[in-house]
């Protein structure tokens, strides 16, 4: 149960950072990065909601969230030289992906 709580906390944190970074990316003309981050933020929010409700699809949501975070890590690394907030976002996405992965491993 502690792993699921950690996943919820990391998803919430990731959602906030992804939204903030997406705004920053939009301001800097990095629209493809911003779109990916907004999608990731939405999935992170949904994952936290599903897990807090102990939904029967929580494990699937955690896996999906991990996949979105992994995709955002790649995109953020692509732009981290141009936008410092992308570097921070990649770190937060990695933490979220790891938390989701650990929670799924315990639940399995």
69-102: per-residue pLDDT in tens?
999 999 999 999 888 999 999 999 999 999 999 9
Task: Give how many domains the chain has, as a whole number.
Answer: 1
What is the CB-side half-sphere exposure of residue 77 using CA atoms within 13 A?
Answer: 9
Range of the structural domain that residue 72 is part of: 2-107
Radius of gyration (Cα) for the chain, nearest Å?
A: 13
Residue 67 reports pLDDT greater than 80 = yes
Indicate which CATH number applies to the domain containing 46.
1.20.1270.360
30-65: per-residue pLDDT in tens?
999 999 999 999 999 999 999 999 999 999 999 999
**What is the Cα–Cα distance from 82 to 99, expressed in whole angstroms?**
28
**What is the Cα–Cα distance from 20 to 73, expressed in whole angstroms?**
15
82 is written with which tokens? 């141009």
54 is written with which tokens? 């102990």
């Amino acid at each position: 149960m502690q792993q699921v709580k950690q996943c919820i906390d990391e998803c919430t944190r990731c959602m906030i950072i992804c939204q903030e970074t997406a705004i920053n990316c939009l301001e800097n003309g990095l629209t493809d990065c911003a779109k990916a981050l907004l999608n990731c933020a939405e999935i992170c929010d949904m994952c936290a909601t599903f897990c807090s409700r102990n939904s029967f699809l929580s494990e699937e949501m955690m896996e999906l969230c991990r996949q979105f975070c992994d995709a955002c890590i790649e995109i953020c690394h692509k732009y981290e030289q141009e936008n410092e907030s992308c570097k921070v976002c990649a770190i937060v996405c990695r933490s979220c992906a790891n938390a989701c992965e650990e929670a799924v491993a315990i639940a399995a």
